[in-house]
Amino acid sequence: ELESLVINIHKTPGSSRVGGGANPCAFVPQNYFNDVNGTKEDFDKMGLDWREVSSTYFQLVQPNGLVKPAVYSNDTGDYDMGVAMAAASCVHPTHREFGVTSGRPRVVGFFDCVMQAELISNQGPYTSISAFDRGDDYDEYGLCIAYIYHHPEGKTMYSNGREFKSGTIIKCGEQLPTQPIMAHCQPIIKKVSGWRDTPIFARSKEWQGRVKGGELPGPVCEILDTIEYFTGTKVLSIGNGPRGDDIIYIREVGETEEVGAAAGKTLSSTVMSNGDTTTTTTTTIPTTTTTTTA
């Protein structure tokens, strides 16, 4: 007998979203690379150093969570900091965020807790986050925990009976405004530490030599806890490699009933999109989880 539920699929670091529309948590506007006809070749010519770009970018996250505007400069030219971070993320060896068919760069950014909260209010809390091992090469990372509305001309706008003035904050769980308002929203970022010294990539020496069933690195737990706290999400698993079986199933300390009840059961088919193609997969939760979170 099957018990059906929806498992929402996300990807982070380097979260990407396809299609048009406003995307407050992206490093650049959603249609930016399409409008400027940006290509991988253009990014390669920028000669970006990942360590330097990412470190500089996260230093610009202010105590209030807003990213301070800045220009990144190297021998090849001067670039908006968001453009540099987006391009460096796309060409990173573990990210390679380009359309499979079109070859166009994808617009990447932070894990969007605001949109995740909206998603699970309609589809349920269970979530699997792929590509988590990308964090192995981050000194710092960030999560978008709210939006702030700011109109360049100081205009007040209205949506669903709510007034939006510059400085209005949209929190996780609140009703999302219309696209014209979202287009003038910026992310409020909570910075978290990376885990470069404790990589979780499935075939890394450190992961292969771990104590099975032990705890995940502290920064990984912090990110998962933050996502669950702000969104109400229940993270079932994270991906730590490109293979289908590169999955870490999560059990929180003290958690027994919920995961145990689902152990060994085949769950309903879920739809997973990689940005260009859609694949239907069936997920089974194993009887024994491999890792706990703090």
State pLDDT tens for residues 271-282: 333 333 333 333
Better-predicted residue by pLDDT, 180 or 266: 180
C-alpha–C-alpha distance, residues 87 and 48, integer Å: 8
Better-predicted residue by pLDDT, 8 or 285: 8
C-alpha–C-alpha distance, residues 265 and 277, integer Å: 27
- Work out the average pLDDT over 146-152: 96
Q: What is the pLDDT of residue 266?
A: 32
For the cut 60, the answer to whether the pLDDT of residue 226 exceeds it is: yes
What pTM was computed for the model?
A: 0.81
Spatial contact of 193 and 140, defined as CB atoms under 8 Å apart: yes
C-alpha–C-alpha distance, residues 203 and 201, integer Å: 6
Query: Any idea which of 45-49, 94-98, 180-184, 287-291 has the lowest mean pLDDT?
Result: 287-291
For the cut 60, the answer to whether the pLDDT of residue 227 exceeds it is: yes
Confidence of residue 253 (pLDDT cuts 50, 70, 90): low
Confidence of residue 255 (pLDDT cuts 50, 70, 90): low
